[in-house]
Amino acid sequence: MDWLNSCAGFLVGLLVGFTGVGGGALMTPLLVLVFGVAPQTAVGTDLLYAALTKSVGSWVHGVRGALDWYVLRLLWLGSLPMAVLTLILLNNSPVAGGLAKLILPLLGVALVLTGGAMLSRPALNRLGARLRTNFPDRLKAYQPALTVLAGVILGFLVTLTSVGAGALGSVMLLYLYPLRMTPHRLVATDLVHAIPLAVVAGLGYLAAGLVDWNMLLSLLCGSVPAIIVGSLLARKVSGRWLQVLLSLVLLGAGAKALA
């Protein structure tokens, strides 16, 4: 199983390196639907895996100097408290058992949302640009609250499913900030937002004994070199076509999780 985990890590790491966002959404469905790992253990292990690989990805993609700290603070204002609240509800409340049973169905929903968001990303970006051009004052007035709300949604989804911080988060940012978010700034801001979110949520699962360390190390052995290789080869491959292909895979995995 260890070498299979390393192969899975290599595949996901390669996609993260190529696209910057979205590839990480494959890890939890791979662990649950292909390897038969218990959903809670898969989510907990994937969260710490995501924190480490996104840290490497942020270094490889050169995020320093491209971060939008204003947007990051608003996202964290929503996502980090929501992650803590979700962990408390998941582990220490009367609804804990119900939430645990929702992990697999919510994983399916998150995968469908992520795949659909990646497919519709250009259209949503154009819609956001039209709103920014036609109603600039109104959009600016609502941007802070909507950004915090986006963080809340991502904090809940990521904590329960480990999916959404990359691809879904980037689409939200493109819609809310169509002119502000250049491609490099988008990748940088989205990656760095996801790191503390994955750390906070992952530590919650770790405290509950829901992280498989042997699996985590095997995944990292495959993914870390793959991220570097994928990033170096990214200029030679159409990122958009890879995202379309990945979105179709995510839609299929989401449908299977919901079946």
- pLDDT tens across 224-233, in order? 787 777 766 6
CA atoms within 13 A on the CB side of 125: 17
Cβ(187)–Cβ(70) under 8 Å? no
Which segments of the chain does DSSP mark as H helices, in order? Answer: 2-19, 27-29, 39-60, 69-92, 96-119, 121-134, 136-161, 167-176, 183-207, 213-233, 239-258
Higher pLDDT among residues 208 and 256, named by residue: 208
pLDDT band at 155 (very low <50, low <70, confident <90, very high): very high
Q: What's the pTM?
A: 0.84
Q: What is the pLDDT of residues 105-120, one digit of tens each?
A: 888 888 888 878 777 7
Q: What does the block give as tokens for 257? A: 């999780």
What's the token pair of residue 75?
């996202």
d(CA 206, CA 209): 5
For 10-14, what is the mean pLDDT? Answer: 78
Domain ranges of the chain: 2-258
